[in-house]
Amino acid sequence: MTARLNRYFALQAHGSSVRREFIAGLTTFLTMAYIIVVNPAILAAAGIPQGPSTTATILVAMAGTLGMGLYARRPFAVAPYMGENAFIAFTVVKVLGFSWQAALGAVFLAGLLFVLLTVARVRPWLVNAIPVSLRHSFAVGIGLFLALIGLNQAGIVGAGAGGAPLRVGALLSPSVLLAVFAFLLIELLLIRRIPGAILWGMLAATAAGFLFHLHPLPHTWVSAPPSLAPIVGQFRLQGLTGWSSVGVVFTIFLLAFVDTAGTLIGVSARAGLLDETGQLPQIERPMLVDALSTVLAGLLGTTTSGAFIESAAGVEAGGRTGLTAVVTALFFGLALFAAPLLTRIPAEAYGPALVVVGLMMLAPITRIPFDDATEAIPSLAAIVLMSFTYNIGIGIMAGFLLYPLCKLAAGRARHLSAGVWVLAGLALVFFAFYPYR
């Protein structure tokens, strides 16, 4: 079996092993297991039943991640996107007044558009047109974004008061002290070069939370998954009428496009999967998987899905091949029946892990030519807006728009490819349609 896995996933060629890939897959799962609870909770605000939504979330994550492992053979996990779920629940349904069935129809249409553009090789062409400096900035921006998410989840940083956008959390509270313990333990294990440092740190923090009664043990260890019947196949295309529905579909499409592009390029750069020209070989494969997962999401009753930035945690744990994704998918399968146990991993455990991963993703910043303002300005905009707006798409689109404008101002526009201008045009349309509410 080990020999077969090595041949199929080329473990030796990537300097990996079955044990390392297993640890990486489990690490990825634990850092993103919160989506099993958080995604249904957000979509409940739109009226989507929470129990069936939980099952849909797990099934989409399992199927998409398994596709990434077996077909694309990349260490990327797939799940419903954070941000897009809030856009569907609070903007599309609550503000614009669409039914949740029509919102799922928009997700389904966006997924079909993804599939068509991927098969026609338009999406890979656009991603390959992204300038090298912006590719590095995406990795850095995702790193800072992950760190901010982790700090917030751990309670170290919270929403501000009195006009301040952010504030420090209750640092002496038991929960924050547990998060600090997890962070220091992970860093200590990393310094000592202990394999699986992030995973062991999370598990130790989880055990400490149970031991000191900061979090209760699950009342039951296993349970049958809720039925999908109330939401499966409930998407409605006839509810998408008028110009506003075009804007909704297009916004969903662009948000998912830039999230996927940024995640694939950023995480791949950190994993050493890009070639000498900065391209991800066979990028159409992971793109087709995330396109099909979005179609499946609309069918089953959840929101836009694709490559998850928490995949970076598995990469930092040593994951380099599709076997990492297969292991993650298997744990999502177990989550169908063991959700009461697996969802007990507290934010104080996985939050610090995301901070550590964010730290590790800052390395590509040294490859950005800051002595060239036409490269530095778009890169800086992408980095800071990803984290400061809490939206990866905003930062990436700002980079797409500013890059050709800066080159044009410097009289160097003749060196730009057609793809760069297409990306800038998409960015203009994105900012024109984006619901600023």
Task: Tell whether 117 is covered by a domain.
Answer: yes
Asked if residue 242 belongs to a domain, the reply is: no
pLDDT of residue 158: 87
The count of domains in the chain is: 1
Q: Are 257 and 115 in contact (CB under 8 A)?
A: no
User: pLDDT by residue (tens digit) across 238-297?
Assistant: 767 666 677 678 777 777 777 787 788 878 877 778 777 777 888 889 989 999 999 999
Q: Please state, in angstroms and rounded to a whole number, the distance separating the CA atoms of residues 289 and 285.
A: 6
Residue with tokens 């939206």, as numbered in its chain: 391
Q: Please report whether residue 205 resides in a domain.
A: yes
Q: With respect to residue 190, please indicate whether it lies within any of the assigned structural domains.
A: yes
In a domain, 64, yes or no: yes
Q: How far apart are CA 301 and CA 108, in angstroms?
A: 10
Which pLDDT does position 243 carry in this prediction? Answer: 60
Whole-angstrom distance, CA of residue 412 vs CA of residue 201 = 49
Residue the block writes with tokens 């009226």: 47
Residue 225 within any structural domain of the chain: no
pLDDT tens digits along 144-171:
887 888 898 889 998 887 778 888 888 9
The answer to whether 214 and 155 have CB atoms below 8 angstroms apart is no
Q: Does residue 240 lie in a domain region?
A: no
Residues (pLDDT < 50) of the chain are none
pLDDT at 436: 66
Give the domain range for residue 346.
Answer: 2-215+255-433
Q: What is the pTM of this model?
A: 0.73
Residue with tokens 């494969």: 285
Residue 366 in domain: yes
Which residue(s) pair with 168 in the sheet? Answer: 157
